Amino acid sequence: MYNLLKGKRGIIFGALDENSIAWKTAERVHEEGGKFVLTNAPVAMRMGQIKNLAEKTGSEIIPADATNMDDLQNLVTKAMEILGGKLDFVLHSIGMSVNVRKNIPYTESNYVNTEKGWDVSALSFHKVCQVLYKNDAMNEWGSIVALTYMAAQRTFPDYNDMADNKAYLESIARSFGYFFGKDKKVRVNTISQSPTATTAGQGVKGFDGFIAYADAMSPLGNATAQDCANYTVSLFSDLTRKVTMQNLFHDGGFSNTGVSNEVIERFTK
């Protein structure tokens, strides 16, 4: 390991189980010398094994509903108390669609469900940034990262309203990134990750097809959760100080590939 994050402090949202990108990232941050608090919504914590991760990394857990401003204020205040100062990194790895869970087609969206999913998956990122910004909770050259997916740019029919949520999420990174950069010298970016076999991802209809197709299209193959954790660590480090307001594709080359020989062969047999 390289001690890339030695002395750095942060918050990691969304670690559910060992398949999740947030979980892998927490492990890698720990290996690189970073310290952090873990957080998730109480209902998600009951579903996952976050306590095991906390024990493994010597971290404390602060439950918080990322859509609730009071919870976020408590989270940021307590995190700085526990860690002994301002923060250097934050990972937002949260996503949920009630319409997807209930197999409601995009053309028949239940808008109460849509608003809930938008609040959890996208607006929560603005709320997190706002609390960090108002509390001056980030050190200069700190890094805030959120996870997204290419359905924000291209149509994947079964990704449903999560595509809209991710597009909004990416816009927040650009817009809040401007103010964080000008006023605080803090970076805000999104990582557009390959389809990854996480608990959340597997809830999308036809997800195995997503993974297989992307893998066949990508010159380097799909990026795994572990690969994404490594990339996130690089964005938390001082090696990427001038990278901000970017949507960074981390997908083995999928985003720039029109078609691959493997896909052509599949359809010409």
Q: What pLDDT score was predicted for residue 197?
A: 84
pLDDT of 207 reads: 74
Whole-number Å distance between alpha carbons of 124 and 29: 23
Distance CA(141)–CA(236), nearest Å, equals: 9
Specify the pLDDT at position 202: 60
Per-residue model confidence (pLDDT) at position 146: 98
Give me the catalytic one of 111, 133, 149, 168.
Answer: 149
Tell me the residue type at 30: H
Q: Distance (Å, rounded) from C-alpha 29 to C-alpha 22?
A: 10
* Residue 14 marked ligand-binding: yes
Low-confidence ranges of the chain (pLDDT < 70): 199-205
Annotated catalytic, 159? yes
Give 76-106 pLDDT, tens digit per residue: 999 999 999 999 999 999 999 999 999 999 9
> Which domains can be identified in the chain, with CATH numbers?
9-268 (3.40.50.720)
pTM to 2 decimal places: 0.96
Q: Which of 224, 202, 219 is nearest to 255 (CA)?
A: 219
Active site residue 178: no
Catalytic residue among 159, 178, 213, 231: 159
Residue type at position 125? F
